């Protein structure tokens, strides 16, 4: 039997079913409803003081681990993208820096994408990223694709 929303006949998405089953729905690949916001179309969310504190903690910890482990190209990439401890960068700003240095742009996505959607964006030189910042109880690990991982693990490379 197909599960549906209580007020409509529309079937539940895999994301919604996962939540009902007690699974973290952030781990369920999603499909895009259309073209995501790209580059300067991306509006920066209002981050809380706690999110900014989480960003500073993660950034500082990551940068302290890098000497002797990360190559010069990676460190130059962090600098080129303008990623600092000062605050969570706007996806639009990262996109502008990325486009100026590589020709790629950032596309704001809602979360984990189905691989078909992910590689479709990549084929268009669009780097998928969320603007999600992990919560305090997820500083060491988050199952969700967060912008810290995008900005400081994937993008500078």
- Evaluate if pTM is beyond 0.85: no
| Residue-level pLDDT at 4 | 55
Query: Which residue in this structure is represented by tokens 């969700």?
Result: 144
Question: What is the reported pLDDT for 68?
Answer: 92
Write out the chain's pLDDT in tens, 157 residues: 445 555 566 777 666 777 788 777 788 888 898 999 999 999 999 999 999 999 999 999 999 999 999 999 989 999 999 999 999 999 999 999 999 999 999 999 998 898 999 999 999 999 999 999 999 999 999 888 899 988 887 776 5
Q: How far is CA 59 from CA 40, 55, 66, 92, in A?
A: 24, 6, 11, 19
Region 31-154: CATH code: 1.10.800.10
Rounded distance between C-alpha atoms, residue 26 and residue 35, angstroms: 20
Q: Where are the domains of the chain?
A: 1-29, 31-154
Give the pLDDT confidence score for residue 155 in this predicted structure: 73
Nearest Cα residue to 128 out of 142, 138, 143, 114: 114
Distances in Å between the Cα of 103 and the Cα atoms of 95, 99, 150 are 9, 4, 17
């Amino acid at each position: 039997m197909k599960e549906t929303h209580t007020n409509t006949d529309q079937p539940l998405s895999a994301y919604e079913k996962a939540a009902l089953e007690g699974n973290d729905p952030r781990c369920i690949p999603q499909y895009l409803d259309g073209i995501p916001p790209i580059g300067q179309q991306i509006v920066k969310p209002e981050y809380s003081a706690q999110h900014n504190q989480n960003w500073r903690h993660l950034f500082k910890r990551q940068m302290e681990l890098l000497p002797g482990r990360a190559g010069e190209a990676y460190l130059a990439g962090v600098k080129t993208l303008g990623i600092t401890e000062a605050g969570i960068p706007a996806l639009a700003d990262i996109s502008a820096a990325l486009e100026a240095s590589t020709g790629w742009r950032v596309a704001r996505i809602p979360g984990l994408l189905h691989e078909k959607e992910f590689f479709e964006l990549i084929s268009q030189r669009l780097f998928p990223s969320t603007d999600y910042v992990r919560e305090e109880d997820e500083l060491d690990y988050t199952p969700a694709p967060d912008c810290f991982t995008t900005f400081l693990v994937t993008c500078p490379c």
